[in-house]
Amino acid sequence: MESTRTRELEAVRQRRAELRDTLDALERALAAPGAARAVVWGEQLHAAVHRLASDFALHVEVTEGPDGLHQSILAGDLRLANQVAALVEEHKTIAADIAALAAASEAPVTPGDVADVREQGTKLLAIVMRHRQRGADLIYEAYATDIGGGD
């Protein structure tokens, strides 16, 4: 059992690191100059959002799947069911927010779009970061293990 848990946690650490890299890429795309080069800015942002959508879908699969992290946590400690349920609900909201940002960053982005799209993306970054923190707290509570920030 311990080696299975170790493998599960190592997979989670790896996914967190990959998602962190994706969030960094999204942050860089959002922070890039946009108003004078809105079309290029939008294309770069859209690519970063597409990568986030893919990585976030994998995150959901790894956590919510039949052999996923959430099932493992619940098998060991049912008192964490409310925290798991809250994270699952957040997955739905975050996925919808990612889809909305992908739609907002569809070509062509105009100079007048940049500020609103940037604000939308910045809010999404904050939401995903808080979600990651709550996930790390859940894992720590379930396993008394610090999975790190993925840095």
Match 């976030």 to its residue by tokens. Answer: 56
What's the pLDDT at 53?
Answer: 98
**Cα 149 from Cα 136, distance rounded (Å):** 8
CB 104: neighbour CB atoms within 10 A?
A: 18
**What is the distance between the terminal CA atoms of the chain, rounded to a whole angstrom?**
28
Range with lowest mean pLDDT among 68-72, 109-113, 145-149: 145-149
> Structural domains in the chain?
2-143 (1.20.120)
Does residue 150 have a pLDDT over 70?
no
For residue 20, the model assigns a pLDDT of: 95
Query: Is the entire prediction scored with pTM above 0.85?
Result: yes
Task: Compute the CA torsion angle 151, 121, 32, 40 (nearest 10 deg).
Answer: 120
Residues 6+ apart with CB under 8 A from 149: 16, 20, 136
